[in-house]
Amino acid sequence: MIPHSPQRSLRLLIQPLAAAAFLALAMGSAQAQKGETVKIAWIDPLSGLMAPVGQNQVKSFQFFAEKFNATNPAGVKFEIIAIDNKLSPAESLNALKSAIDQGVRYVTQGNGSGAALAIIDAVNKHNERNPGKEVLYLNHSAVDPDLTNSKCSYWHFRFDADTSMKMEAITTFLKDQPEVKKVYLLNQNYAHGQQVAKYAKEMLAKKRPDVQVVGEDLHPLAQVRDFAPYVAKIKAAGADTVITGNWGSDLALLIKAANEAGYNGKFFTYYAGVSGTPTAMGASGAGRVFQVAYNHNNMGGQMDQWANEYKAKFGDDFYTGSIIHIYSALGTAMAKAKSTDPVKVAAALEGLRFKTFNGDVEIRKTDHQLQQPLFISVWQKVDAKHPYNVENTGFNFAPVKTYDAYVSSTPTSCQMKRPG
């Protein structure tokens, strides 16, 4: 047997050590972010007329943080820091500054596109001035199309479907509803409500040129307490259908006034499933109130289990499904980036495809708008096939039409400025 040279002996000793070190390094980097706490600042209303919506969503974010803390592939822990913005863009900026001062690198907001525009602008400026301390804005519900078009930002990702996508689904559905002949547009007087009216007129003209828009109103956001005068105008105009993007108290009080006035036309809504509105609809809304959304009360499988568990825990209904999209996307992107650094996570989120409760979805790289299926559902009595009981009314939203992501997708004019 030929003895090893000292150099060869050294090589034989070093090689396994190097391999072990490399393996440890690779394993470490594969889960570099494991065990880290990812703080997300939630900036939305917890006071005023829209407080019930905000309170529901805080509970929802915290409920699903617990779920995804146990299962996300990055092994991180999500923590929610809730800050009341009073539905105000100015207060949203104060909240954002407070969050950044606390070292938070991820923010979420969704109730009000005015606040969303303010946050996008502030995040852009902060990130430009503070390299190494970048912040990502995860938009759960602000749906003004401008947010991913003329105002699009590399640091903003939207997990709801925008106003134009939802109107694409509504008008595609109305194309095959010959009984709809006279439409009234009633909306909140801010970016989202204005866009609902704009897209309704444009898309109806293309798909149902025979339909008349017999009236149009914009009213102050979260200030009207009696919608009887608006309902009187709807009835006087002879409208058989109302299209509204209203949400929160502005929809609940509208439906209540319509019921009290004996208006029996149809409502096509964006947010009839949100706190308070189901109770206002009651039995009189059955078969007349439709909703366009990326989820409904009868999704089946895991979603139904979560909804039932949420109701048992809080005595409330879960409806902001984009929260699940956010946690799914963040966990997947952080595992892919092997980091919780917002710069690396943003790069991993671009073009990300993942499976979620409403099917296969994709974060479009061009504008960071989630492409996803949409559903038209109708308010109806609980039955064996659709058992979920919304706000203990004995009714729920049952699906009547599903539109795949490619149907509801709308083009973007985004010219995104990317870092570097």
All structural domains of the chain with their residue ranges: 37-161+301-372, 164-293+374-407
Say if 37-161+301-372 and 164-293+374-407 have the same CATH topology. Answer: yes
pLDDT of residue 33: 83
CATH topology of domain 164-293+374-407: Rossmann fold (3.40.50)
Buried b (16+ CB within 10 A) or exposed e, 137-151: bbbbbbbbbbbbbeb
pLDDT of residue 178: 97
Residue numbers in the chain where pLDDT is lower than 50: 1-14, 16-29
Tally of helices (H runs) and strands (E runs) in the chain: 13, 15
pLDDT of residue 117: 97
Structure tokens at 245: 């993007």
Structure tokens at 45: 């209303």
CATH topology of domain 37-161+301-372: Rossmann fold (3.40.50)
pLDDT of residue 85: 98
- Give me the residue label for tokens 């490619």: 406
Q: Which residues is 375 bridged to in the sheet?
A: 293, 402
Question: pTM surpassing 0.75?
Answer: yes
Buried b (16+ CB within 10 A) or exposed e, 205-244: eeebeebbbbbbbebebbebeebeebbeebbeeebbbbbb
pLDDT of residue 12: 44
pLDDT of residue 420: 78
pLDDT of residue 23: 42
